[in-house]
Structure 1
Amino acid sequence: MFWAEDRRLLPRDSWTRLVTKRVVIVVEGQTEEAFVNEVLQPHLGYDAVSLTPIVVHTSRSADGHAHRGGGSWQHYQNHLRRLLQQPHWDLVTTMIDFYGYPDDAPWCSCTSLHDQPTCAESRETGMRDAFAYNPRFLPFISLHEFETLIIAAGSQKSSILGDADAPAKFRHMLNSVEGNAEALNNGPLTAPSKRVLAALPDYRKVRDGVAVLEGDLGPALDHAPRFHDWVDLLAGAGA
C-alpha cells in the first residue's frame, strides 16, 4: 500500500519511519545499553518509537580512554545538555540507579528520607530544574538498581540460569515487600544486587542480566511500578 505525500508516492513502511519518534536514553553501562536494545525496544515495538541508548562517559584516563558510568553529576549534566541541544531527539531520558546516583547531583541529600520513591521523584525534579524544565527531558531514576528488574522478572520463571530454586527465593523477597521489587532495601548488604548474588552465586550482571529479562518484560513491569510508569511514558512518546 502507498501513501501520497507532497505529490510523492512512498511505501507505507517508509512513511511509518518518517513519523517514528526518536528517544535517546542515557544509561550507566553496557548491561543497561544491551537491555534497551534487546529487551526494551522489542517490547515497545519498532514502528512508533526508536530507542538509542548512550553510555555516559564520566571521565577520561591519561591515555584518553573514556570511563563509563558512575562519576560526578557534572559529567551527566554536560552530556545531557549536548543531547538536548541536538534537535533530532524528540525525547531525552535517563536510566540511572538510585543506589549509584552522583553525590553532587541535585537532591542527593534526600537519601536520609525513609520514603525513597519520594526521594527519587525529588531527584528527578531537581534534574528537570537543572535544564529549566525542558519539555523534551524526562529524567528517570531506577529504584534501586538494575537487579531490581532481575528479581521482579525472575520471580515468575521456572528456573533462572539453570537454577530451579532461584525463582522461589525471588518470590519470597517480593512477598516481604508486598510484591513491589522497588521497595527492596538499597543498603550495602541488602541491595537488590546483593540479594541476586545470594540467590544466584554465579550471576554476573554483564553476562546474565539481559538474558534473564529477555522474552517477556511483563513480570518486571508488574512488580516495579515506577519503572512501569516510565516505560508507559516512552510508549506514549510515539503515540
Structure 2
Amino acid sequence: MIRLHIVAEGQTEEEFVKSVLTEHLGILNISTDVHCITSKRTKKKVYRGGAVSYGKIKKDIMLWLKQDRNQEARFTTMLDLYALPNDFPNFAESQNKSDPYQKVEQLEAAFGNDINDPRFIPYIQLHEFEALILSDPQKLTERFPDYQVNIHKLLAVCEKFTSPELINNGSTTAPSKRLNKFIPGYEDAKVSVAPLIAKKIGLPTIRQKCPHFNAWISQLEQLR
C-alpha cells in the first residue's frame, strides 16, 4: 500500500483531505494522512496553519521526508497560489507569466527541483481552495439559505470564467474574497463548511471544472 503524506496550507485543506480525498484514494489502495504547515513551535505547543514563508513549508516537508524514508511513501502539498510567499522558488520569474496555468506549473516545477526527492509531488491550487467550492456555488444555499439571492449573483460572476481556477488572485476578487462578499458568514464557518460543500459538489464535478486540480488527482491515482 502506498502511503501518501500531504502538507496542507490550513485547516480547511486539511479537512478536505480527510473528508474527501482519503476515501477516494483509499479505494485505490493509497493510505492518506495530512497535517497543516507548522507555523510556530514552542516547548509546549506546535502551531499549525498558514503559508507564512517558503522556509517553513520546506522545513515541514524535509522533516517528513526524513521521518519516512520508505520507497512506498509519497509526499505532496495543497497550497494556495493566492498570497503565496514571495520567497518561493522562482516566484519573481513566475510573475512574468500572464497565463495562470503556466505560472503555477513554473512554480511547481521550481518547488519540485528545490525539494529534490523523487517521492515528492508539488501541488499549488489555482488560485485558492475556494475555487473548488465555486465549481458549483449553488450548493452553498444548503448551508446559507438566507443568502440565496447573493449566491445567485455569485453564480453569475462565476459563469464569466471558463474555470473557477481562473477566478483570480486580487485582494478583493480572489475566490475567498468573493465568497466573503456575497456570504458574510462564510469566513467564520469555512473550516467546517467548505469541505462539506466540496463533498456535496463531488469530485467528478470539481475535476471537470478545475483542470489543474484534476491533473493533480489523476497523478495521485496513478501512484504505485
TM-score range, shorter chain: 0.7 to 0.9
Residue in 1 that maps onto 2:57:
76
Give 1:166 deviation, angstroms.
Answer: 5.3
* TM-score using structure 2 length: 0.87
Q: Which runs of 5+ in 1 are unaligned?
A: 1-19
Q: In 2, Cα distance between the equivalents of 1:129 and 1:139? A: 9
Larger radius of gyration: 1
Q: Which runs of 5+ in 2 are unaligned?
A: none
Q: In 2, Cα distance between the equivalents of 1:183 and 1:115? A: 9
Residue in 2 that maps onto 1:183:
166
Question: Counterpart of 1:237 in 2: which secondary structure?
Answer: coil
Deviates more, 1:208-217 or 1:118-127: 208-217
Deviates more, 1:76-85 or 1:219-228: 76-85
Q: In 1, Cα distance between the equivalents of 2:169 and 2:220? A: 26
How many residues matched? 216
Q: In 2, Cα distance between the equivalents of 1:186 and 1:123? A: 15
Give 1:209's match in structure 2, choosing from 184, 194, 199. 194
Partner letter of residue 193 of structure 2?
Answer: D
The percentage of counterpart residues that share the same residue type is 30
Give 1:141 deviation, angstroms.
Answer: 0.3
Equivalent pair of 1:93/1:137 in contact (CA under 8 Å): yes
1:227 corresponds to 2:213:
yes
CA RMSD between the two structures: 2.1
Question: Counterpart of 2:84 in 1: which secondary structure?
Answer: coil
1:140 corresponds to 2:126:
no
Q: In 2, Cα distance between the equivalents of 1:165 and 1:217? A: 26
- In structure 2, the CA distance between the partners of 1:124 and 1:23, relative to structure 1 (3 Å rule), is same
Give 1:25 deviation, angstroms.
Answer: 0.6
Residue in 1 that maps onto 2:108:
124
* TM-score using structure 1 length: 0.82
Higher relative contact order (CA 8 A, sep 6+): 2
Q: Which has the higher helix share?
A: 2
Give 1:113 deviation, angstroms.
Answer: 2.9
